[in-house]
Structure 1
Amino acid sequence: MENKSLLLTDKYNVAVPRYTSYPTMPYWDANTFSPELWQQSVKFSFTESNAQSGISLYIHLPYCESLCTYCGCNTRITKNHRVEEPYLAAVLKEWDMYLAIFNDRPVIKEIHMGGGTPTFFSPKNLQTLIKGIIKNATIHADAEFSFEAHPANTTVGHLQVLYDLGFRRLSLGIQDFDPKVQFIINRHQTADQVMAVTQQARRIGYTSINYDLIYGLPLQTLAGLADTMNKVALFRPDRIAFYSYAHVPWIKPGQRRFTEQDLPDAAAKTKLHETGRALLMHYGYHEIGMDHFALPGDTLLHAEQNGKLHRNFMGYTHQHTQLQVGLGVSAISDSWYGFAQNVKTVEEYFQLITDGQLPVFKGHILTAEDLIVRKHILNIMCTGQTVWNHHGEPCTAVADGLDRLDALADDGLVELTSLGLTVTEMGKRYLRNICMCLDARLWADKPATQLFSMAI
């Protein structure tokens, strides 16, 4: 079995999208997109779904005091905290533009603040932001608010202010406790700091705490990862995101602080993943979808068990809204029928907001075939299965994808029938590869250069 696993690792360790969207961003068609078409898509989706399921908000807060060199997020590095108020004022003006498009009171079911480092901002300024967001909205009865935080700068003030505003979920970025790894990726926090923030959050009343961990980091070892997992197990976070490090220095130059020689090769990275996964399951965590783990009783685990798991640009969630609005620099929005991304620099963002324009600069309006493929990829990512049912209409993308899936079936990664597809236990490690078989746009225009991170 180990030999087969190594053979599969070699075979499927190729550059693959992560499929947080379909089509994936490099294949968004500029010819189908304009700010006007995007606004029409938002209004249609809002009218169709707001009263029934509400909407989700993602708020991107890009500022960090130092650069974590592994990071693939859009960030702005500064120690000047005078940037806080102008940025948040711009975000609230953007929200006002969306309120004008809605032309009705939005029902907010989900808010997630990501970054950057949301806890770069003072508790007072975060309070101003969230109060400004919700003052013209209705909060859904099942609403969930969450935010990402750096353990080294998250204060009791942050936790209390956001709790009082309705936040109950906290995600702490840890990555690895090994000092050598922390040094080379420039991400420093101690186990004591993580424990302190976790305990403070629980005392205040937070009901769900997530830790982000990464395997495949430079200088990472099996012993170091095991030590990290053992420490994490003592703190018992409700959820753990155990991600593969995505080495894309052509996109994120900060990753050039180290070289490929500092990274584990595919076989070593596979061993890191298997070791971490085994330890998490030993400590009582259940694997969910791709990269996620949760303790019994967690709503994410219940959602998977009941076939209700959903995935969007914020990751896996048990919440499902048709419309997700992204606010702030580089934030991505999803109307289900289309995607839009905001401009990537603070200067461009401020200028467009000042001019009274939505700060979107690219996007994609989905075709009928895109919607079919998107549904199947989402099903595979969330439930490990999908059914070929197109209401009698032929779908060339699926037919072509079935031909490519035959090889994966031969390798034991999927089971295929005339009715649909089921991912096998072995295939769970290769969800991205399975989805790629159905990626009609990628196969129609294969990239000449590497666009995506490696599967392993």
Structure 2
Amino acid sequence: MTDSLITKYNVAGPRYTSYPTVPFWDTATFNPPEWRQRLTNAFGRNNDANGISLYIHLPYCESLCTFCGCNKRITRNHAVEKPYIDTLLAEWALYCDQFPQRPRIAELHLGGGTPSFFSPQQLRRLLTGIFRWADPTDEPDYGWEGHPGNTTREHLQTLYEFGFRRISFGVQDYDPQVQLAIHRFQPAAQVRLVTELARTVGYTSISHDLVFGLPFQCPETIRETVLKTLTMRPDRISFYSYAHVPWIKGNGQRGFRDEDLPSGDSKRKLYEIGCDLLQTGGYREIGMDHFSLPHDPLYKAQETGQLHRNFMGYTLTQTSLLIGLGVSAIGDAGTAFMQNEKDLESYRQRVLAGEFPVLRGHLLTRKDAQIRRMILEIMCRSQTAWERADWTNEEWGRIRPQLADFQADGLIRFDDTSLRVLPAGRPFLRNICMVFDHYLTQNRQTGPLFSQTV
């Protein structure tokens, strides 16, 4: 890949886990009763047919990782576990009261924060409460995020008993200088130990999360991190671009200077080194930022065209109703989005008062739904199609020259009704999606919103 392409396309842009993206949700016209009606309608369409998805946000961490942009609460006081789980179960009860029948959970994910901050006993209490009012589908897909430093056999066994077969371990990087800069410490020996422990318990899909673009990373350090990862043969590897968003309130990204970060062509070369090593090691690229071995269901989903993407990332579960529980959690009813209160105390106060703790949301228009479908197809299948009549002459007059520019650079092939991303275009999926993003073209940004695309 030429440096000129990286320079040209390295702009701020969304990651497109949703469309419209959260900064452009029309919160002024968001109507909670209408959202609840759309939620109930989505439940009716999905529950019997495919089941629903459930994401539970567990925000606590014992120490701050300075690269992390997630909503989290740093504490060593584990007395917070019980009241938080009490609140999660009270919120779940609000949803179950809304539904006309017992939910069937096809997809369940515990994210953070650090889910393994919670004791196995509290996690058991949480899941017992969830399944008191719900049932698993026949072939559920349940996963969770574990910290290599505090995940125990009891954690693994407890969640395994509830049907969890996937786990992802946050590794990020093995270089001591990088770990010091991001305040995230775990030796490869510890990661290997907990990976083998998960296999022994019976987990069938183990993922390691790596990040490129971190402070002080260079070709030698990223090569060493990937080579160590290859010796452990995780079933999946997430190889994320570091999102530098220090302007977000409460963000911990203050532990290093901007000049300590690789950027532009240097950052992209780190990805290419890692990508080449992973592919040589037998891994196949999945969508954007993900790799898997050919036996993993994620790879098979891509091969059969069943790959899906939602707020939890790439998934093989085809549900169009995602419920988010917990502080800052996001829900997706197919035609409506909502996000919970981002302040922990406000979230708890509203739930315990018997309210849905909705901070903001968006009701999708017909145009939103069309563009959402196209972006999802580009992200999951590297192609999409449309009717020429879907665009006004003004819209097409804006879109077509941008697509022609991508085509001239050898990144896509397109005509008046379809688009296909070429192998050289895969690093620029976000940029290609941005062409169709109605909100990016209609809104003037008054400050930074997104990380760089490269």
TM-score by length of structure 1 reads 0.97
- 1:262 — aligned with what? 260
CA distance in 2, matches of 1:410, 1:448: 32
- 1:158 — aligned with what? 155
Distance apart, 1:408 and its partner CA:
1.1
CA distance in 1, matches of 2:381, 2:134: 32
Residue 172 of structure 2 is aligned to residue 200 of structure 1: no
1:206-241 residue CA offsets vs partner (Å, 9 max, x unmatched): 100001000000011211111111110110000000
CA distance in 2, matches of 1:110, 1:135: 17
- 2:133 — aligned with what? 136
8 Å Cα contact 1:214-1:245 kept in structure 2? yes
- 2:413 — aligned with what? 415
1:52-82 residue CA offsets vs partner (Å, 9 max, x unmatched): 0110000000000000000011000000000
CA distance in 2, matches of 1:264, 1:155: 35
Distance apart, 1:190 and its partner CA:
1.0
Letter in 2 for 1:77: I
CA distance in 2, matches of 1:77, 1:415: 47
CA distance in 2, matches of 1:242, 1:355: 41
**Residues 120/395 of structure 1: CA separation in 2 closer, same or farther (3 Å cut):** farther
Residue 116 of structure 2 is aligned to residue 119 of structure 1: yes
- Number of matched residues? 452
Residue 72 of structure 2 is aligned to residue 75 of structure 1: yes
CA distance in 1, matches of 2:252, 2:213: 16
8 Å Cα contact 1:373-1:398 kept in structure 2? no
Letter in 2 for 1:250: W
- 2:182 — aligned with what? 185
Letter in 1 for 2:383: Q
For 2:49, what is the secondary structure of its paired residue?
helix
- 2:21 aligns with one of 18, 21, 24: 24
Distance apart, 1:405 and its partner CA:
1.6
CA distance in 2, matches of 1:265, 1:47: 47
Distance apart, 1:435 and its partner CA:
0.1
CA distance in 2, matches of 1:282, 1:408: 28
- 1:438 aligns with one of 436, 442, 445: 436
Distance apart, 1:170 and its partner CA:
0.5
Kindly report which structure 2 residues correspond to 1:354-393, keeping only aligned pairs within 5 A, or say none.
Answer: 354-389=352-387
Identity of aligned residues (%): 50
8 Å Cα contact 2:237-2:292 kept in structure 1? yes
Distance apart, 1:48 and its partner CA:
1.4
- 1:332 — aligned with what? 330
Residue 261 of structure 2 is aligned to residue 276 of structure 1: no
Residue 318 of structure 2 is aligned to residue 317 of structure 1: no
For 1:290, what is the secondary structure of its paired residue?
coil
Distance apart, 1:32 and its partner CA:
2.7
Distance apart, 1:34 and its partner CA:
2.7
Letter in 1 for 2:357: P
- 1:249 aligns with one of 246, 250, 267: 246
TM-score by length of structure 2 reads 0.97
1:132-154 residue CA offsets vs partner (Å, 9 max, x unmatched): 11122121111011000100000
CA distance in 1, matches of 2:140, 2:393: 39
8 Å Cα contact 2:55-2:325 kept in structure 1? yes
- 1:107 — aligned with what? 104
CA distance in 1, matches of 2:135, 2:172: 36
1:394-432 residue CA offsets vs partner (Å, 9 max, x unmatched): 567963433422211111111002330000111001000
For 1:144, what is the secondary structure of its paired residue?
strand
8 Å Cα contact 1:414-1:427 kept in structure 2? yes
Q: 5+ unaligned residues in a row in structure 1: which ranges?
A: none
- 2:168 — aligned with what? 171
8 Å Cα contact 1:63-1:78 kept in structure 2? yes
Letter in 1 for 2:66: T
Q: Which runs of 4+ in 1 moved over 2 A?
A: 392-404
